[in-house]
Structure 1
Amino acid sequence: MSGFYDSGYVPARLIFDRLLGLAYVVAFLSTLAQFRALCGARGLLPAPRHLRAAGFRRTPSLFHLHYSDRLAAAVATLGLALSVGVVLGVLDLVALPIAMVIRAVLWVLYLSFVNAGSVFYGFVWEMLLLEAGFLAIFLGNTATAPPIAVVLLLRWLLVRLEVGAGLIKVRNDRAWRDLTALCYHHETQPLPNRFSRHFHRLPKPIHRLEALGNHVAQLIVPFGLLCPQPIASVAAGIIVATQLWLMLSGNFAWLNLLTIALATMALDGRLLAAVVPAEPATDGPLWFAIMVTILTVSMIVLSWAPVRNMAARRQVMNRAFNPLYLGNTYGLFGRITRQRLELLIEGTDDQPGPAASWKAYEFKAKPGTLSRRPRQIAPYHLRLDWMMWFAALSPLQTQAWFPPLIARLLRGDAATLRLLATNPFPRQPPRYVRAVLYRYCFTTRAEHRRTGAWWTRRRIGEYLPPAALRSPADAANEDGND
């Protein structure tokens, strides 16, 4: 079918498949390590309870059929094995129907976790992985040239991602409009990395250039993706460079990785062929062309909602308009926090009071101990660390998972403690646990040279007063209804 396929995109598809597969690898790895404690049968927000309350139509998931922690681990392991196979090039060795089935199974498995994971799976990169993963089902295999319509749909997804994020910034926060947002962002972002302090200490004119560059990269450049070559390649190159800058300055799970993957689908095949040699592919069968046509029409229809949202004065950020996460609206950091608030969770065996000795639980990546250097975590995703950042900015009453977390620490729950970096009560749980709110700031260069500390902090007050188990019976209550 002349004009329906283009073998020039075979090198781009090879790169895209590997990067998408890598994103799936990280997503299933983090699920395997964290889902039980966060959303398992006795997790902080149990998946069975969430699925029963929401129903299958709102949260389609394999776990509506049956849920157990063992089954969830098996499903995540299967997803991990398939995604590792994709990274290793399995899709290059199988027939078109098998390649489509592998991609579809990955999508269904991860959709099942996202719809069962409530707020712990409500991040923008979960939505992006599902939408990109679904479109990838129709990219073809080694013998089949990529359909041009699917290539354009992947570019259109990237346009929505970037433009949606750009619009939400300039609409919602004056700091983005007056170009001062980056004076705060590197310090106040959810999980700073090892270079974030250095980025924060850059001169203010550089921060203004960063903000201006962000607006150009998100509000102007993306439209070049829909233009002929070489404009599309130039636009893709700018987006890739921007994402590499973001990867250097912070931890955003696999968001930057997936964005780069999408950008590769706009690169000129002649340019990529010199780096990724590939055999020319042929047109696909009629049934495949029909499926691609149906997909294209469906995605055009589903795009109406996010386009209308982007055009609206009261634009919403990161919203799925259907339970399959197709045709989403995207955005990030629509409002910049001006100061970094951190919650420290502490325990004691003493009676609460001025003389009590409190010991802090250390999380794997979020700031805690002042002398600990921020870590590079991305593309891995630490969901509890991220939620602690949101909790510090929100009233306790809005964080349904926080009281169960405190209860698990009072019980010494092993699965919950594995989500943390240190347990200051290794022999037995503390009698009391509290949460204290602090304001954190990066140290200056002089302070860092003098003390070795990466942070300074000032206590603001108690977020949660000292809490204890009400009775011995509470220690046996593991039904997730704390």
Structure 2
Amino acid sequence: MDWFAASDYWLTRLVLQRALAGVYLVAFVSAALQFRALLGEHGLTPVPRFVRRVPFRASPSLFHWRYSDRLFAGVSWCGAALAAAIAAGAADAVPLGAAMAMWALLWLAYLSIVNVGQIWYSFGWESLLLEAGFLGIFLGNDETAPPVLVLWLLRWLAFRLEFGAGLIKWRGDRCWRELTCLDYHHETQPMPGPLSWFFHRLPKPLHRVEVAANHVAQLVVPFGLLMPQPVATYAAAVVIVTQLWLVLSGNFSWLNWLTIVIALAAVDSSAFSGPAPAYPAAPLWYVVLVCAATATVVALSYWPVRNMVSRGQQMNASFNSLHLVNTYGAFGSVTRVRHEIVIEGTDDEQPGEETVWREYGFRGKPGDVRRLPRQFAPYHLRLDWQMWFAALSPAYAAGWFEPFTTRLLEGDRATLRLLRHNPFPEEPPRYVRALLYRYRFTTREERRATGDWWQRTLVREFMPPVRGPGDAEHSR
């Protein structure tokens, strides 16, 4: 079946599969290390409470049948181990059916996590990983040539991902059309990286060039992904370079890295991979499964295509509970001013004007003005991201911020492990409060004079002082 096989793409598949497994590995480790404080039985938004009110059909997950923190940890760490094994080549060392089962287990395990993850898993890159991971099930292994249909489905995913992101910007904030969004974005993005200060301080004409290049990369280049070779390879190269630029300028979890992985499907590696292996004909059952998956994706593509052509285009939306064939896009509006919530505690009996408040430090989000932002992506700091949203509006903090401050007053170990600095290592504070600050990057002159990366100004009180449990047991 010559129409089915793309033997020349064997190296493309090899790199794509190993890299996709690497992204899965990061995702599962992120879940394992952070779930207890966020989603656990005593978490900020507990899974048991969620599954009691949301039916299985709306959010299919194995945790609807049974939940315990031990089971969640087991699923996360087993997923990480399986992803690591596939990244090391295990799926190529077993029969085709077993390899597909390994990829299917990864997808089912992560789907189970995302579908009970609530606000902490509400990001587009979660659905993107599930959609790419679903296609990864059908890519095959060393027993068969890469299937043409799945490579085209991955190209179609890359097109929707990039073109949808470009459309949402062009239709959204006028600063994208005026080429001025990057006058703000490097400073106000959810989690700046170690080079974000330098990107922000580039001359404004270069910011205009950045925005214009982004429009070309997301509104024009994606059509090249669907063209014959070598045009598709050149288009994929532009996407990859653009994504690496974004990696350097900020922290967007595994979004940029996964976009690079998906774009690899359009790369013709035959020029530098040597002769293609002599693959046997693909088993009929495998051909049937690939064709069925292709038909499913084509049918489900109706909703994201309709969304893209709609004036009311949604960003990062899933149209089914399995997160298959989604719509993508981000930053349809760009924040001009950066606000940050700073949480402080005191062990004074009664706070007053002379009270000394000590500040909690977060791993990724700005806090200490002298601390250079760190690079965490592709790892995802879920609490830090939600703190950015909460600073935009208290509505984003509903349901989890008050329990979070309560855990600080209790000295909850799982919660404190999500932070970089706990100013009360011996025992919890008596009171905590939250203040809202305006943050901006220092100028070059301010940086030289003070050594600070940020300058901050108090805006208002976000949450008044809240009293802790007194002499009750503080830690679990």
Shift of 1:469: 3.7
Task: Report if the CA contact (8 A) 1:349-1:430 is conserved.
Answer: yes
| SS in structure 1 at match of 2:372 | coil
CA distance in 2, matches of 1:128, 1:372: 32
Q: Which residue of 1 aligns with 2:258?
A: 258
For 1:319, the equivalent position in structure 2 comes to 317
State the match for 1:295 in structure 2.
293
Equivalent residue runs for 1:106-125 within 5 Å: 106-125=106-125
- 1:360 CA displacement: 0.6
Given candidates 293, 300, 305, the residue that maps to 1:307 is 305
The 5 A counterparts of 1:117-196 are 117-196=117-196
Secondary structure (helix, strand or coil) at the match of 1:331 reads coil
Q: Is the 8 A contact 2:412 2:474 kept in 1?
A: no
Local SS of the residue matching 2:393: coil
Deviations 1:409-444 (A, max 9, x none): 010000000000011011111111111100111111
User: What is the CA deviation profile of residues 62-89 of structure 1, one whole-angstrom value per residue up to 9, with x for unaligned ones?
Assistant: 1111111111111111101000011111
CA distance in 1, matches of 2:44, 2:332: 28
Q: Distance in 2 between matches of 1:110 and 1:272?
A: 34
Runs of 5+ consecutive residues of structure 1 not aligned to the other structure: none
Moved more, 382-391 or 279-288: 279-288
SS of the residue 1:265 aligns to: helix
2:86 counterpart residue number: 86
Q: Which amino acid aligns with 2:291?
A: T
Q: For the structure 1 residues 433 and 396, does the alpha-carbon distance in structure 2 shift closer, same or farther, using more than 3 Å as the test?
A: farther
Counterparts of 1:42 and 1:401 in 2: how far apart (Å)?
A: 12
Number of residues of Structure 1 aligned to a counterpart in Structure 2: 475
Instruction: Return the letter of the residue paired with 2:311.
Output: R
Give the deviation of 1:272 after TM superposition: 4.5
Q: Equivalent residue for 1:236? A: 236
Q: Which residue of 2 aligns with 1:197?
A: 197
Shift of residue 2, structure 1, vs aligned partner: 2.0
Paired position in structure 2 for 1:4: 4
Distance in 1 separating the partners of 2:398 and 2:216: 36
Q: Which residue of 1 aligns with 2:451?
A: 452
Aligned amino acid, residue 187 of structure 2 = E
Q: Is the 8 A contact 2:221 2:238 kept in 1?
A: yes
| SS, match of residue 226 in structure 1 | coil
Q: In 2, are the aligned partners of 1:396 and 1:402 still within 8 Å (CA)?
A: no
User: Could you list the per-position Cα deviations for residues 87-116 of structure 1 after superposition, in whole angstroms to 9, with x for gaps in the alignment?
Assistant: 111122111001100000000001111011
Q: Which residue, 278, 281, 287 being the options, matches 1:283?
A: 281
Secondary structure at 1:378 match in 2? coil
The amino acid across from 1:366 in the alignment is K
Separation in 1, partners of 2:6, 2:281? 8
Confirm or deny: 8 A CA contact 2:410 2:469 kept in the other structure: no
Query: What letter is aligned with 1:332?
Result: A
Does the aligned pair in 2 maintain the 1:12–1:272 contact within 8 Å? no
> What is the CA–CA distance in structure 2 between the aligned matches of 1:361 and 1:7, rounded to whole Å?
55
Tell me by how many angstroms 1:51 deviates.
1.5
Residue pairs, 1:277-426, within 5 angstroms: 279-350=277-348, 351-396=350-395, 398-426=397-425
Whole-angstrom CA distance in 1 between matches of 2:421 and 2:397: 27
Instruction: Report the secondary structure of 1:57's partner residue.
Output: helix
Given that 1:11 and 1:272 are in contact with CA atoms closer than 8 Å, whether structure 2 keeps it comes out as no
Deviation of 1:399 after TM superposition, in Å, equals: 2.5
- Give 1:354 shift: 1.8
Q: CA deviation at 1:472?
A: 7.0
Equivalent-residue separation in structure 1 for 2:2 and 2:143 (angstroms):
16
**Contact (CA 8 Å) 2:446, 2:452: kept in 1 or not?**
yes
Among all aligned residue pairs of Structure 1 and Structure 2, give the percentage whose two residues are the same amino acid: 57
Amino acid at match of 1:415: A
CA contact (8 A) 2:428 2:474 kept: no
8 A contact 2:430–2:470 mirrored in 1? no
TM-score for the superposition, normalised by structure 2:
0.97
CA distance in structure 2 between the partners assigned to 1:272 and 1:258 by the alignment: 23
Displacement after TM superposition at 1:476 (Å)? 8.3
1:206 deviation in Å?
0.4
Displacement of 1:471 in angstroms is 7.5
Classify the secondary structure of the residue corresponding to 2:159: helix
In 2, distance between residues paired with 1:365 and 1:231?
39
Aligned to 2:25: 25
Check whether the contact 1:343–1:438 (CA below 8 A) recurs between aligned residues: yes
Structure 2 distance, partners of 1:320, 1:455, is 37
- Give the 3-state SS of the residue equivalent to 2:164 in structure 1: helix
Q: Which amino acid aligns with 2:21?
A: G
**1:396–1:463 CA contact under 8 A, matched in 2:** no
What is the one-letter code of the residue matched to 2:3?
Answer: G
Counterpart residue type for residue 3 of structure 1: W
**Do the aligned partners of residues 58 and 243 (structure 1) sit closer, same or farther apart at CA in structure 2, a change above 3 Å counting?**
same
Give the partner amino acid of 2:327: T
Provide the secondary structure at the position in 1 that maps to 2:56: coil
For 1:334-356, what per-residue CA distance to the aligned partner results, in whole angstroms no more than 9, with x for missing partners?
11000111110111122223211
1:60/1:476 CA distance change after superposition, 3 Å: farther
SS at match of 1:97: helix
SS in 2 for 1:116: coil
Gaps of 5+ in 2: none
| Alpha-carbon separation, structure 2, partners of 1:278 and 1:452 | 56
